[in-house]
Each structure stands twice: as C-alpha cells, then as structure tokens.
Structure 1
Amino acid sequence: MIVRIVRMTFQEDKLPDFHTIFNNSKHQIRAFPGNRHLQLLSDPDHPTVRMTYSLWESVDALEAYRRSDLFRETWAATKLLFAEKPVAFSGENIESVPLIDIA
C-alpha cells in the first residue's frame, strides 16, 4: 500500500475555489482504479494549508492516476491557486496499528 500526502498552501482568497475543485473531483479520484482512500485535511496552525492523504494499491496505480486526464486537469486548475510551492511525498506502508476506541 502506498500512502501519498500532498501539502498545499493557498492564496487566502482562493480557498473556496480549491474546495470547489476538490468537491467536483473527489468522487472520481476515489473511484480511480487502485485508489483505496482519499481524505482532505486542514492544518490547524495555518488556515490556508490543505493536505490530501490518499492510499493507493501500488506505485503503478498512483502513477497511472498521475498520468491520467483527471489528474492533469485537476492539478492544472489547482496549482493556479497556490501561494507557495506544494510539497508531496509517498511512503510504502510497512505496518498499521489499529485505532483504539477510547470512548
């Protein structure tokens, strides 16, 4: 399993535009072959930062997505909204620890 995290800093007035792009593409990304999970996160200390956290079956599945028209079109629209260069990295899952219900 491949974990992909992309940290993006947006121009403050462009955040609504990003959320529109994300909302319009999230179902297609989640349905893309090899995608197992997609989540959007915010940084509690930096209100203009958003992060995507996604899980992919393999490097090949992630790369197929990155070569797709869906990615190219979504990324082209998203990168126009950045205030800073995004940071992206991937990692291969070695071990998962189940969540503990503390309730």
Structure 2
Amino acid sequence: MFSADRPVLSLSEVAGAAELARPTARRLLLTLEELGYVAAADGGYRLTPKVLSLGMAYIGSLGLWDIARPHLEALVARTGSPRRWPSSTGPTSSTSPGSPCRS
C-alpha cells in the first residue's frame, strides 16, 4: 500500500492492494477523502496527516504505558538513575536518584 517509496497510489493500485473491485475502492477512497484521511494528488491518492490520529488512537488503546511502567520503574530502582519519560504532568518528568517514580 502507501509507503515512503510510493506516497501516491492510483485507484487501480489501491484496489489491487486491498483486493477490492475498482468501484468499491473508489467509493472508499472518496469517503476517506471527504473525511480528510486521503487527498487526490498527481492522478492518484496520498495519505494526509490526519491518518496519524488513527494510529495514535490505536496505540492508546493498547495500554502500552501500563505495560511498560513497571519495567521502567524497576530499571530506575536498579540503576539509581533519574527517570525521564512522558508523564501526565508534562512532556517529560524527572526524579532524582533514590526518589520514587511518579507519574
């Protein structure tokens, strides 16, 4: 599908990659264009930055932070190094060695 090497795909390329009939792919692309996820470009379609919102929603739904936090806190405890990672209080948060990790 779309990639750095192929940022613009034709209707036929999208239909083929998605294994859809061309009319179905066209209707989907027109809907995605209306929603702002793709834009017509150079005789085909390209993704727009709005697709990042889908990726971020997916990542947020995985609970990765909840999985990683205990491991990161254990690493801080073992090394005595201050932690620096995103927190709810700002873009990064830091604790001094020996301080409990906070979010």
| TM-score bracket for this pair, using the shorter chain length | under 0.3
Calculate the TM-score normalised by the size of structure 1. Answer: 0.25
User: Quick check: which has more Rg, 1 or 2?
Assistant: 2
Q: More strand by proportion, 1 or 2?
A: 1
Calculate the TM-score normalised by the size of structure 2. Answer: 0.25
Higher relative contact order (Cα pairs below 8 Å, separated by 6+ residues): 1
Q: More helix by proportion, 1 or 2?
A: 2
